[in-house]
Amino acid sequence: MRILVDASYARRGPSGTAVYVDRLVEGLRELGVDVVTVADEDRRPPAGGGWGSVRNAAHDRWWVQRRLPRLAARHGADVIHHPLPAAASRPGRGPDGPVAQVVTVHDLAFEVVPELFDPRFARWASHAHRRAAHRADAVVAVSRTTAGDVRERWGVPADRIVVAPHGPGQWRARDVRHGASMRADTVPLARPYLLYVGDDEPRKDLPTLRRAHAALVAGRGDGAPDLVLAGSVAPAAGDDARVRVVERPDPDRLRALIDGALALVHPARHEGVGLTPLEAMARGVPVVVARSPGLTETCDDGAAYFAPGDADDLAGAVARLVDEPRVRERLVQAGRRVAGARSWGAAAAAHVTAYEAAIARARRR
């Protein structure tokens, strides 16, 4: 069984999808699976709308419909794995029969909370991703939450869906620069701080986090922790000296930021799986997350929860962490246990199940 994995999206920069592709390929190879990765090196960066996005969409269609099937034939692949929902109408034939296609669905946020997306993108994603899921021979869902959405909203039969939860461990020894220090003091932060890691997009709900932090500072003064926003985040007009933005930190610095945080806060309104909270739990950092199905599934009893969009509830959850060391310690212990029950090896094994089912279905066509 030879698997052709489209790693194009992972080449566009740091993201959860990039981590997923990298760790999945490594896990598959450790299981002895024959994996070939290919990437569209000619694809231009995201254009942010307008004609540039139209051009990129046309190029992506050419890559999926034309180039990937040719590469699958060249490499003698049995399966094309699309780490995001896309599928060729004619994937071609492999050494032993039709080439099967597998797609990964991370979440259906554009349908669950469409008001948090550009309406044009939400309509396109709903149509294109649904069509790809129906065209695929098997669908990998990163959580039971996503699997339920794919089944109920898109009507994909349950026997074509395989749940493969992510594991923790974004960093391996070879990811860290030789001799680089991993101590929290590599990041010059003198006060305890809350950490957010991710992009500044409506679904992530940074306004609620900023309001909660402002309420903590107003009520507690110097007793309130600072706030560090790490990722593709721009400073906001209301940010003061207690809010620090670290744009696109490299892996060394991001790891140090997580290890040094009082808590990681993840206010996202909807997630298929919380990869950053999972990583923080594995590293022994308390986690505070919005109570949504994908996050409660991922974090279980290893996180403190607040009502999505409720800044006062979030401020209260953080205040309990600050005031009660026993709460922090309970979350640390529970978080390590929850994260320790997951692994990329188990995720890779679930993908093998999906590949085998996809091959069998393709050969019955």
Among the residue ranges 169-178, 208-217, 325-334, 343-352, the one predicted with the least confidence is 169-178
- Whether 172 shows a pLDDT value over 60: the answer reads no
Among the residue ranges 157-161, 167-171, 323-327, the one predicted with the least confidence is 167-171
- Vertex 59, ends 57 and 64: CA angle to 5°? 95
pLDDT score of 12: 65
Pairing of strands 138-141, 100-105: parallel
- Whether 176 shows a pLDDT value over 70: the answer reads no
If one compares 1 and 60, the residue with the highest pLDDT of the two is: 1
Each residue of 75-112: pLDDT tens digit?
999 999 999 989 998 898 888 889 999 999 999 999 99
- Whether 185 shows a pLDDT value over 60: the answer reads no
- Torsion (CA) 61, 64, 70, 72 in degrees, nearest 10: 180
On whether the CB atoms of residues 285 and 339 are closer than 8 A, the answer is: no
Structural domains of the chain, ranges and CATH numbers in brackets: 2-167+344-364 (3.40.50.2000), 174-340 (3.40.50.2000)
- Measure the CA–CA gap between 153 and 130, rounded to whole angstroms: 9
- Measure the CA–CA gap between 47 and 25, rounded to whole angstroms: 28
- Whether 10 shows a pLDDT value over 80: the answer reads no
Q: Per-residue confidence at 13, pLDDT binned at 50, 70, 90?
A: low
pLDDT score of 179: 34
pLDDT score of 290: 97
Percent of the chain with pLDDT over 90: 71
- Measure the CA–CA gap between 160 and 354, rounded to whole angstroms: 8
- Write down the pTM of the prediction: 0.89
The pair of structure tokens assigned to 214 is 């402002």
If one compares 60 and 88, the residue with the highest pLDDT of the two is: 88
Please list, in sequence order, all residues whose beta carbon lies within 8 angstroms of the beta carbon of residue 76, skipping any fewer than 6 positions away.
2, 94, 95
- Whether 174 shows a pLDDT value over 50: the answer reads no
- Whether 286 shows a pLDDT value over 70: the answer reads yes
Q: Per-residue confidence at 184, pLDDT binned at 50, 70, 90?
A: very low
| Mean predicted confidence (pLDDT) in 22-50 | 85
DSSP sequence for 31-83: TT-EEEEE--TTPPPP--SHHHHHHHHHHHHHIIIIIHHHHHHHHT-SEEEES
